[in-house]
Amino acid sequence: MQVLSTLGSTVRKDWRRILGFGLCFALIFQVVMMIALMVRFQAFPNYATFYDWIGNAAHIIRSTPSWSDVWPIIWEEWLIEIGFMNYDFGTGISEWSLNVVPSRLVVLAFLGALIALCLSLLRQNTCTTGTSSTLRATTGLGAMLVAMTAGTMSWVVCCATPSWVVGLAMLGLGVSTSLALETMGPLLQGTGFGVLFATIFFLAWRKTRVTEAYPKGALNNA
């Protein structure tokens, strides 16, 4: 219970910074993905499509018989598509694109908030340089696993399916191999969140131990 109390106190104290960091992280991640696409394909996007996400979600809810199917479908609904259209073939074909998906934005904002919480707890802990570096590296590992699987880029070579594995294919990994790894996305994302939560609880536990050992400002007077 003391650990939860420590976490609650940290969140109440830094909630504005944690929330702001989470929102900025989600936005910056989209910008970074777009820059990566432009650098990889040496071209600027030439089209942008905005979708009625709310209307589409309402239509899915009305027309889908099973509630167990509603949420997975809505989870994959797009909000914005920005990419490069090749008009050499009739009306054009999208060669590559960045797909902004609200569900992924929520995941990225939550990820950013967890990173900010980790950093807040790290500042409050009296760790040695080596321990602090290890904890920062652990936080980075968890964040990387989640962020890597939250990508929503599409490439015509990868069947134009927006997915995190498109980034792997763009880096040179075989397309077939990349697509085969797509099913590992939930496992990698779950592992990443698990690492972050474990780090957060460890830092909160460590702070609680220090507070109990040096109550009422004794640490500052030591």
Q: pLDDT band for 20, please (50, 70, 90 cuts).
A: very high
Asked if residue 128 has pLDDT above 70, the reply is no
**pLDDT tens-digit readout, 44-53:** 999 999 999 9
**pLDDT tens-digit readout, 91-106:** 888 899 999 999 999 9
Angle between helices 129-148 and 102-124 (to 10 degrees): 180
> How many whole angstroms separate alpha carbon 72 and alpha carbon 92?
30
Q: What percent of the chain is predicted at pLDDT more than 90?
A: 50
Q: Which of 202, 190, 114, 178 is nearest to 146 (CA)?
A: 190
Report the pLDDT value the prediction gives residue 165, as an integer from 0 to 100.
85
Among 21-25, 102-106, 111-115, 156-160, whose mean pLDDT is lowest? 156-160
Q: What percent of the chain is predicted at pLDDT more than 70?
A: 90
Report the pLDDT value the prediction gives residue 215, as an integer from 0 to 100.
55
Beta bridge partners of 47: 83
| Average pLDDT in the chain | 86
> How many whole angstroms separate alpha carbon 72 and alpha carbon 76?
7
As a three-state string, the secondary structure of the chain is CHHHHHHHHHHHHHHHHHHHHHHHHHHHHHHHHHHHHHHHHCCCCCEEEECCHHHHHHHHHHHCCCHHHHHHHHHCCCCEEEEEEECCCCCCEEEEEEEECHHHHHHHHHHHHHHHHHHHHHHHCCCCHHHHHHHHHHHHHHHHHHHHCCCCEEEHHHCCCCECHHHHHHCCCCHHHHHHHHHHHHHHHHHHHHHHHHHHHHHHHHHHHHHHHCCCCHHHHC
Asked if residue 13 has pLDDT above 80, the reply is yes
**What is the mean predicted confidence (pLDDT) over 189-207?**
92
Q: Which of 44, 43, 114, 103 is nearest to 73 (CA)?
A: 103
Asked if residue 220 has pLDDT above 50, the reply is no
Asked if residue 143 has pLDDT above 90, the reply is yes
Q: pLDDT band for 214, please (50, 70, 90 cuts).
A: low
Report the pLDDT value the prediction gives residue 68, as an integer from 0 to 100.
87
